[in-house]
Amino acid sequence: MPKIEPREPDELLAAARAGESDGFAALVRLHQARVFSIALRMLMDRALAEDLAQEVFLQLHHSIRSLDSHQHLVSWLRQVTTRRAIDRLRRERRTETLSLDESPGLDESLGLAASERDADPLLRQHLQSLIGKLAPMPRAILLLRYQEDLDPLDIAQTLAVPVNTVKSHLKRSLAALRMQLSAGAPLDESGEA
């Protein structure tokens, strides 16, 4: 059995664009964790996240020739995954929780020490519940900002919205979360305090 040499991401993309199934399969393996993570944190349902990830990679297979670089591919995957998750949330009006295991920037923005949140399971549960009640767009913006570590300009490009919309959603969402954490009151259905 011949040894397969590891290939650079741009080489894998070129191979997939040329119709090589091994190149496409390698791209899927390279990016499946990112796509699944975004889908799972948005939808909060493993089966739905797996279905959405499959849909994204099926769409990638059909769109692979339109992608001209690995960086373009990463951006495309974030964009398609996030938009499909927002659409599904809007259709199903899901209000489940968003996991905060790897969102240290969010803790800082809310004025919490990560150790404080982790040490208090009720605080953690309450925060996750509040984020889960945000409308799909603000939830996606928080996810892209604090999980994917994108700046507001990149988020705006990913979601095809003005950068000021991203900034205002971030500001309002963080303010609402801070207020709800200190007051303990629920968010209304629009995701606002």
Spatial separation of the C-alpha atoms in residues 132 and 114, rounded to whole Å:
19
The reported pLDDT for the residue numbered 147 is: 82
Query: Which strand (E) or helix (H) includes residue 23?
Result: helix 21-43
The reported pLDDT for the residue numbered 186 is: 52
Domains of the chain from N-terminus onward: 9-92 (1.10.1740.10), 104-183 (1.10.10.10)
The reported pLDDT for the residue numbered 161 is: 94
The reported pLDDT for the residue numbered 117 is: 46
The reported pLDDT for the residue numbered 128 is: 72
Decide if 141 contacts 155 (C-beta within 8 A): yes
The reported pLDDT for the residue numbered 127 is: 72
Spatial separation of the C-alpha atoms in residues 34 and 40, rounded to whole Å:
10
Q: Which residues of the chain have pLDDT under 70?
A: 1-6, 93-120, 124, 184-193
User: From the CB of residue 126, how many other CB atoms can be counted at a distance below 10 Å?
Assistant: 16
pLDDT in tens, 95-141: 444 444 445 556 566 555 555 545 667 776 777 777 778 889 998 99
